[in-house]
Copies of this chain bind each other. A is one copy, B any other.
Amino acid sequence: MGKGEQTRDSILDTALDQASLVGLEGLSIGDLAKKTGLSKSGLFAHFGSKEALQVEILRTAVWRFAKIVVAPAQRQAKGIDRLRALFENLLDWTEMGGIRGGCIFLAAAVELDDREGLAREFLVESQLNWLRTLTKAVLRTVREGDLGAGVNSQDFAHEIHGIYLAYHQAKRLLHDPGAKGRALRAFETLIANNR
């Protein structure tokens, strides 16, 4: 790995963390340069535009998400175990990934939903991809017999996603200590109601 690539990666590490705190738009190149010990123009040259930087931040996040949430779950037996692993990994993925400001995909979702451009397009594709992964895991769980044959896998995936969203907000905005317990409970109830 050449020098440039190395610097670029360390910029993106810092940028991801920072963007989770202040948002993709709120993030400033000057501030990021200060935090990484580079000059503003030196940092800027790595990406060429702020939008490109934002896309790369999202790409970094996707990569980390895959490593922390998806990959370990694939090592579980297909069916309910794998689905549960996906969900439980999801709950802690930002902490595991060293991201202080919470799930950047949720932050970006509300920040970009009215904008247009490459960052939005990349985010939409990522989210669709995640929902597909979740849906597929549900479908396999049905096939394994751990969920009833009448379960609509897509609806089910969205319900799991909703539990995550509520959990995330309760934890990060309301500082609700019961958030995680409630999320786990909601997940198990959802499973139990659809056996």
CA–CA, A58 to B75, complex, Å?
46
A141 to chain B, nearest CB (A): 17
Which parts of A126-166 form the interface with B (CB within 8 Å)? 127-128, 154-155, 158-159, 161-166
Binds B, one of A2-10, A19-27, A63-71: A19-27
Name which of A124, A158, A159, A185 has the most chain B CB atoms within 10 A of its CB. Answer: A158
* Residue in contact with A127 in the complex, picked from B107, B155, B162, B174, CB distance below 8 Å: B174
The quantity of this chain's copies bound in the complex is: 2
Q: Tell me which residues across on chain B come within 8 A of A107, comparing CB atoms.
A: 110-111
B127 to A114, Cβ gap below 8 A?
Answer: no
> Chain A binding site: helix, strand, loop or mixed by DSSP?
helix
A116 to chain B, nearest CB (A): 12
A76 at the interface (CB under 8 A from B): no
B186 to A158, Cβ gap below 8 A?
Answer: yes
Q: Tell me which residues across on chain B come within 8 A of A174, comparing CB atoms.
A: 124, 127-128
Q: Tell me which residues across on chain B come within 8 A of A102, comparing CB atoms.
A: 110, 113-114
Q: How many residues of A contact B (CB 8 A)?
A: 40
A112 at the interface (CB under 8 A from B): yes
A44 to chain B, nearest CB (A): 21
Q: Tell me which residues across on chain B come within 8 A of A114, comparing CB atoms.
A: 21-22, 100-102, 172
Name which of A100, A155, A162, A165 has the most chain B CB atoms within 10 A of its CB. Answer: A162
CA–CA, A22 to B167, complex, Å?
25
Q: Tell me which residues across on chain B come within 8 A of A32, comparing CB atoms.
A: none
CA–CA, A172 to B167, complex, Å?
20
A106 to B101, Cβ gap below 8 A?
Answer: no
A161 to B166, Cβ gap below 8 A?
Answer: yes
B159 to A186, Cβ gap below 8 A?
Answer: yes
> Which residues from chain A sit less than 8 Å from chain B, CB to CB?
21-23, 25-26, 100-102, 106-107, 109-114, 123-124, 127-128, 154-155, 158-159, 161-167, 169-170, 172-174, 182, 185-186, 193
